[in-house]
Structure 1
């Protein structure tokens, strides 16, 4: 009996030990699988975070590239736009009046002098044509530096030119804008202020009266606010030869009254002329941007 008991006991002990080893092996194996799973999940989670982060960075980079590309495109477009824009500056009157007459509009029997002498400063004695050319030259400087192509109808005070000929400068060059520079005068010395004249629907100008008025309003409002002038408003004129023969947008600025002692002194001063030129320049910039938007 005893010889059977000992082997049984030993077998039982071995089974217990074997069972314990098996459990330890299983536990270690299970732990290894769990740890491996956790590590894989953590690794995938990190990979996902890195991937999402990279996607966000790439997305932000792409957006920035798009914005930068658009800004560059807009800048180049603006540069090209300026280079392609032609502005004719018509400094009103000249050193010699031309009393020979010409038709006020195409096909019209109404005749007007080609070019009268213009006004003279009541206090300074400065001729209007001198003031007009000074402001025109300063405006040309602003526009040329900004990249516009600028054409002057006259560059000296010795030139004589009729109003049809002045209009033809704009027509032949297919100008985007003709701006006529003038100063006003009246019998009463109390009259003062600036005004913007725009064409009505007469002659060739009937096709460009709308855009001319739009440009005139923007440019005039900018000028008045910039310089602090008294405004006499926007005035439509159908009796001006230079308007009626124009096939391109055209406006005429009356900068103030040379018959008013105070405005005469201002208009004859270099600093005030420069202020007017700068105000007109800024207005032209805004007018073109407004038309293209």
Structure 2
């Protein structure tokens, strides 16, 4: 089973403002014998600044909406919710904490809730009234595990991103930058065929994330409001949750698949 919610970490990976672009050294005038170098891809600069910024992100919150559209039936589902992220510790002891909650529009009870306490990911299963505790894999010594989705996204280097995904800055307009994403490897192609993230051109904060699943269901995450320096976030929000009345806590099997790379639609396989 692959869990929901990782799309939020994709939003988080681009959530903090990117630092101002550093002044470029004026190029020397090429001689007649020197070939003109190819123009640099502007996306490289964004990726470098994203990498440096994500290393400094400590606390983030966002109000979000999600739309799922089934291309076969043309049926849409709409959800509203929020996410929070907190980094604690430093170096080898760093922990990436997160929570996500989504509620179907017009409904009172949430349909999805996840709490990542660092070592464990707690999945609230509304239909079963169960909080399932999944143990997150630990990275190998000296490495950031790409199986621990928060560590992967918040520790990912520019070179890793370019190796794993085909990234293209496909459009810019007065307000936004549009970056198309395609997976290079089979493991990622199981999760999505293509995606696009839209960044606010002035603040460099994410405005929208869209992706298409292998079954052609289209999922759009809209970031309604985002705070990349939320000092109101409390560390205790990410502690092991107390199950609601009538619910029970249970441990997921060791072989359960708990680390999706992108969130699938709620009706996905």
TM-score range for the pair, normalised by the shorter chain length: under 0.3
Relative CO higher for 1 or 2, CA cutoff 8 Å, sep ≥ 6? 2
* TM-score normalised over the length of structure 1: 0.24
Report the TM-score, using the length of structure 2 for normalisation: 0.25
Q: Which structure features the higher share of strand residues? A: 2
The structure that has the greater radius of gyration is: 1
